[in-house]
Amino acid sequence: MSSWREKAEAVATSLKGERVYWSDLVEEPIGVGCSGGADSVCLLLLAWLRFGDGLRVLHLNHGLRGADADADSAFVEALAGELGLPFFGKKLDGAPAEASEAWLRGRRMAFYRHSGCATVLLGHHADDVAETMLMRLTRGSGTEGVASPLAVQRFYEEPMLMRPLLGIPKSLILAALQAAAVPWREDASNATPDYFRNRVRADVLPALLEAAPGNARAGLSRSHRLLAEDAEALNAWLDSLGLVIAAGAPLELSPLKNKPAALWRRALQRWIGVNGLRDTLSAAAVDGLLDGLLAGEGGQLSAGADERIIFNRERVYREKLSPVGPGTSWPEFRLRPGLTLWLPGGLALRVERVKVDAATRTDIFAGNIDNRSCVYLDENMGKRASAPLLCCIRQWRAGDRYHPLGAPGSRKLQDCFTDAKILVLERKQLPVVCSPTGNILWVPGLPPAESAKIGPHTQWALRLTYGAH
């Protein structure tokens, strides 16, 4: 039987004509993330030839596949021993049965961080590139997201990730291992439709490759490389602005003045990342926040149960919420679709732009929408407007009047409160939603304004929800 060095050299020889990306940026100590699958075993052997005995073999057992996962761990540990490399393994306890890809990715990053490695090599290949591009496009990702996975990826206070095999198709990796008689493990869960990536791999990508003229996989790989180059250039431009982006510190906006929106977005995403808010803010919330900044507006949005983000023309910053009483006053805010406004008293108001489908229209006309917590407003207030409606949020003021839906004319807001049996102490806490011209459109607990009602031909609406978000 051939030695492991002979096997590794045979694999390297088979892939000699392919581009293996070994970056000069690599920092020691170096770990190789190895699941036991073909791609990570291939990478481990190539890295072993290049970096020698200083490598660490990293294996995380997610605890989701029972005996099969334990067998994978045993295989990787045995392989590390035969190569004379230290093995760092861990088994997760209490992983949810329906763990998402994002959840699993987060646990892997935590494991890599605790391994003590400065660089972690990962076995993503060209097929992963194509799958990820298609997945990210459906999620509305930008340049950086569609260009993932990157050959070199840095994170705040995390190990640097490197992916040397991004230019090599899975088929060539399998052929190289088979020719060298190198064993690997197969993960049966990769064949199930439980995960989005598996469905893309089994159904979408093969159909695309068959339908597309020419070498679609090569085209996807080239687009990936070009997008990665653009992302690198934009990040370098952002770095040159001298912005200080740190946890707990405000994001000062003056260096971004008169710069393209792409730089604003990157700066904002970095600030969100270093402050641990990626899982708190939705893509729609980030888009709404960016739109507000580019428009030179101020406002706030929820960043969890006890925190909010405040933004104005000068900076973006975090603020802890303090317990407040019913008499607390607060300033007027402008709220764009996609943003959430966290209000005194622990409740929040969220605005979303939604398509009015037949089912929604039926519920609205039938009175099935509870106006204490939700309302649909015609975004153009029955007129042909060129831009979506911008909501102004303020407190109740003496003398406020509005025209409730179905009423013959306008009424004092105070009288409407009385008829709806809304307590006096509660009235000052309720958000009064107005149009940019000051017309009252809705107050939680009351019907929407006649001028903003959903009609039989309304296509788009602003959905406002009030409560605990």
Residue in the structure block whose two tokens are 């003045």: 257
Which residue numbers belong to the known binding site for ATP?
35-40
What is the reported pLDDT for 1?
40
Q: Do 456 and 444 belong to one domain?
A: yes
Q: Do 359 and 417 belong to one domain?
A: yes
User: Does residue 236 sit within a domain?
Assistant: no
Instruction: Say which CATH number the domain at 458 has.
Output: 3.50.40.10
Confidence of residue 321 (pLDDT cuts 50, 70, 90): low
Residue 412, SS3 per DSSP: strand
Q: Do 138 and 259 belong to one domain?
A: no
d(CA 126, CA 218): 9
- Show the beta-strand stretches assigned E in 34-130: 56-61, 87-91, 119-121
Which residue numbers belong to the known binding site?
35-40
d(CA 352, CA 282): 12
Q: Do 264 and 166 belong to one domain?
A: no
Residue 449, SS3 per DSSP: strand
Domain that holds residue 337: 323-469
Q: Do 288 and 423 belong to one domain?
A: no
**Tens digits of residue pLDDT in 406-441:** 999 999 999 999 998 887 778 888 999 998 888 999
Instruction: Say which CATH number the domain at 212 has.
Output: 3.40.50.620
**The two structure tokens encoding residue 438:** 């000051």
User: Does residue 23 sit within a domain?
Assistant: yes
Instruction: Say which CATH number the domain at 274 has.
Output: 3.30.465
**Tens digits of residue pLDDT in 52-66:** 988 999 999 987 788
User: Does residue 238 sit within a domain?
Assistant: no
What is the reported pLDDT for 384?
44
As a dihedral over the C-alpha atoms of residue 396, residue 399, residue 404, residue 408, rounded to 10 degrees, the angle is 170
Q: Which of 191, 208, 231 is the last residue of a domain?
A: 231
CB atoms within 10 A of CB 121: 28
Q: Do 366 and 419 belong to one domain?
A: yes
Bridge partners for 301 per DSSP: 309
Residue 37 has pLDDT above 90, yes or no: yes
- Of 466, 109, 101, the C-alpha closest to 276 is 109
Instruction: Say if residues 303 and 277 touch (Cβ distance below 8 Å).
Output: yes
**The two structure tokens encoding residue 243:** 């912005």
| Nearby residues of 100 by Cβ (< 8 Å), 6 or more positions away | none
Q: Do 352 and 427 belong to one domain?
A: yes
Q: Do 168 and 269 belong to one domain?
A: no
User: Does residue 281 sit within a domain?
Assistant: yes
Residue 442 has pLDDT above 90, yes or no: yes
For residue 240, CA distances in Å to 26, 162, 234 come to 23, 24, 10
Quote the number of domains for the chain. Answer: 3
pTM of the model: 0.64
Q: Do 26 and 173 belong to one domain?
A: yes
Q: Do 125 and 46 belong to one domain?
A: yes
Q: Do 283 and 227 belong to one domain?
A: no
User: Does residue 274 sit within a domain?
Assistant: yes
d(CA 137, CA 99): 22
Residue 252, SS3 per DSSP: strand
Q: Do 111 and 27 belong to one domain?
A: yes
User: Does residue 48 sit within a domain?
Assistant: yes
ω into residue 447 within 30 of 0, thus cis?
A: no
Q: HSE-up of 45 (CA within 13 Å, CB side)?
A: 28
